[in-house]
Amino acid sequence: MTYRRAVIPALVGGLLITLLLWWAGASEQALQLRGTSSVFDVQSVTELRRWLAPWSYDPPTGSLSDGAAGGDAVSTGGAQYSDLYNTALQIRFVAVFVFFVAGALLLVHRIPPTQGRTPATLLAVWAWAPVAATLAVTVSAPWLIVSRGHGSYRFLPQLAGVIASSGPVTVFVGLLTALATVLVACLTAKDTEPQPRQSVPPRAARLAASAGTAVVALSVVILSYQSVAAWIQTSFGGGGLLSEPGDLLRQWLLLGAWTDPATGPFGDWLLYRAADVLVLVVVWWALRLLPGLLTRTTVTAMAVGAVCATVWGLLASQVLHMAIDDTVDVWGPVYLFSKLGTGIPAALTFGILAGPAALVTLRLAGGREIGESPGETGR
């Protein structure tokens, strides 16, 4: 599919995810109405508000500075910080539109929903939605932090906290967005020349997938080990505004967390390690199929595809965690999904590294370049 055709579903998806996140943020105020507790328990209401707060124009109580003095200065200072908060949200919504459109445009162009690729296109666009939301939250975070009135205090830990706040809502919104995007892409691809799936030497594809998975395993197995994670958390110093980067580094480097089996029951330890293994299995399988799904194996396409594969590995492991979680009766059913979508920044970091590593290995192992179909133009 040409870029000219792919831009239509990408724009539709970008508008839809922006509107859905805006609607979700506006719905946060409804959870404060009297009678909400008759529908949800208190814990569920609190959790839902936490999910929706990053997209709400209504700032959390006490989150904005009230100024340094009384009288008119209080009103003026509060209005200025409120304007900063609104600016942060405006940047956030514009950014989520731009980031989603950019990624969806590439994915629909390189993995068009034809010749059996439709499920792969749907999964890839779905995985890209929380990535776009995380990038949008990251870009708008400085304005949000400053609006609290203490942006110069522990800025990097505050930045890490804001980035981690995008929540499971982006995963659910991403599903609706991906369905609409792929449906429009199927309609726009009806009149195009079919692009058959290319064959990739099995050995080269397996080696490429193994190389990419090894990059992801660096985070899951090595960096996520308790002692290494603690070293990342505490070993980087600094001063002033950029001091204490440990929380931020953990956000962008750690795909999991694990300890020795001596810290708890061995059976539970094995179950949680099975979730870590599931991350690597999903990543390996996705990278194994990715070169054959792409109409052309470029560095950018492999990197974005590897990011989506890593996100799906994370989501699969989180679903397994949900299956073995026994805290639902204590915290309510909504809490069961509270961890869904965490780890997206690290998935972005190691997906970007895993894609080129897989591509280089594919080339060295003898995988030929997958070219464009003869009728494709507009690249």
Looking at the chain, the whole-number percentage of residues with pLDDT higher than 90 is 53
Report the pLDDT value the prediction gives residue 284, as an integer from 0 to 100: 98
Residue 211 · residue 229 · CB < 8 Å: no
> What is the per-residue pLDDT for 377?
39
| Each residue's pLDDT tens digit, 359-378 | 999 999 875 554 444 444 34
Instruction: Give the pLDDT score at 67.
Output: 45
**Residue pair 292/192 in contact by the 8 Å Cβ criterion:** no
Residue 258 bridge partners (DSSP): 225
* Chain length of the chain: 379
Would you state the structure tokens that stand for residue 353, as one six-digit string? Answer: 């590294």
Task: Round to whole Å and give the CA distance between 76 and 206.
Answer: 62
Extract the tokens encoding 71: 């009288």
Per-residue confidence (pLDDT) for residue 114, from 0 to 100: 87
Residues 6 or more apart in contact with residue 61 via CB below 8 angstroms: none
Query: Which of 196, 272, 259, 197 is CA-nearest to residue 227?
Result: 259
Contact 296, 369 (CB under 8 A): yes
How many Å apart are CA 160 and CA 228, to the nearest integer? 19
Per-residue burial over 369-378, b = 16 or more CB atoms within 10 Å of its CB, e = otherwise: ebeebeebee
- d(Cα 346, Cα 358) in Å, to the nearest integer? 18
CA-closest candidate to residue 3, choices 366, 301, 367: 301
Contact in structure between 147 and 60 (CB atoms under 8 Å): no
Composition of the chain by helix, strand, coil, percent to 5: 70, 0, 25
Indicate the angle between helix axes 72-110 and 299-324, nearest 10 degrees. Answer: 110
Query: What tokens were used for 347?
Result: 């998935």
Rounded to whole angstroms, the Cα distance separating 176 from 23 reads 13
List the Cα angle 81/22/136 in 5-degree steps.
70
Category of 312 on φ-ψ map: left (φ > 0), alpha (ψ -120 to 50) or beta: alpha
Secondary structure (3-state) at 225: strand
For position 69, what pLDDT does the model report? 42
Low-confidence ranges of the chain (pLDDT < 70): 32-41, 60-78, 151-152, 194, 237-241, 263-264, 326-332, 367-379
Phi, psi of 236 (to 5 degrees): -105, 115
